[in-house]
Chain A
Amino acid sequence: MLAAVTLLLLFQLAGEAIVLFFALPVPGPVIGMGLLFAALALRGGPSVELRGTAQNLLQHLSLLFVPAGVGVMLHIERIADEWLPIVVALVASTFAAIVVTALVLRWLHVHEEEQS
């Protein structure tokens, strides 16, 4: 587990360094994910240990968003002042994005499978 965590941190570190070096508008961990993906593709897959550690970490992915979520208390006043546009915009746009993405993907995918 220790080796796997170290590996994840090393890839994150490499990602952060690349972002700083090229002044990219993307966070380091996302680049780190891309680098690890490339390494896995070259190597043919993760070790049992890395796979297990990743599973443990991703199983509690929701937990990791809690500290940032509690930050809502810093903005309660603005959200109270503008609650109607904020609530309607969030709900409608999120549901619309899910429906549009799913419909487009389903339509194109079914179309493609019919052709092949």
Chain B
Amino acid sequence: MSTHIRRGVRMWTVLFLLIASVPPLAAGYQIISVTLLPQEFYVGDRVEMRVTLRTTSAVDLLAPGRIPAVEWGEIHQVRLASRGLDWDIRIVLTSFQPGTRTIPPLDFGGIVVSDLTLHVPSILIDGRRDLASPQPQILPPGTRLWISVIAMVLVVVPLSFLVFLRWGRRSLAEFLVRRRERKPYRRFVRALSLLSQGVEQIDGREFYIALLEHVRRFLSSTLETDCMASTTTELGGHLNRLLSDDGDRQTVLSLFHRGDLVKFAAAPAPVDQRRDDISVLLSIAERLGAEHRSPQRNLHARRRKQRVGV
């Protein structure tokens, strides 16, 4: 009896172990959608097949560890993403043969997807077209634009330079010369205008200190010689170079002497005298500006007059 019992127990144990070793039944799935990207593709094109499937029970799927090889082409990649109960499978592949192709079963752990097919159209068969003749080498995008721009630069820049050399250079030089010549004059006139506004309020000594400093600055810029460190006598020498009119020269020198008297010998500086000095300086500076137009500018002016028949 005991032998029967032991046999029975052993049999039930073996039966239990057999039952336990049998894997549970695979979960079911339902393919919701299959999309191909791009939608229009032909043999040899790289295609992404997007499959959305829904499992019948909650299972954890895993991307297949090994991508199966196919004879008709190549499966490059298989990706898996969870969307709740749905799973998104993306299979990137290239088919080198036309026709309907079946993707080999893919084991995602909980399920094995084995009924995926796609139709690979042939441009020759389905499109009813002949093979195109060999095409020339394709240029990288934007090459034509760059070639056009460079060609334009190569043509336009030298052309502009030539045009500038012919007509623009003179005008520019003339403009710069005029501007440079007028700059000290403009600054001088502005300074004298400011000084004349306060001619009655300012002390005589301070007035001549400021006035003579402005004149020195003006002479420095006009003569391109530093007159700030020149004494009145030395300025006399500089003025010989600048002023052709002897009367103007003497006037400016007298002004400097008068200024020195006011500055260093406390000589009186009546307001009328100050006003006169400002107006005399302005008129001399104006004459000077007209006199000292560069010879080139005068030549241009003459040419212009000749052109218009003046």
- Do they bind each other? no
List A residues at the B interface (Cβ < 8 Å): none
List B residues at the A interface (Cβ < 8 Å): none
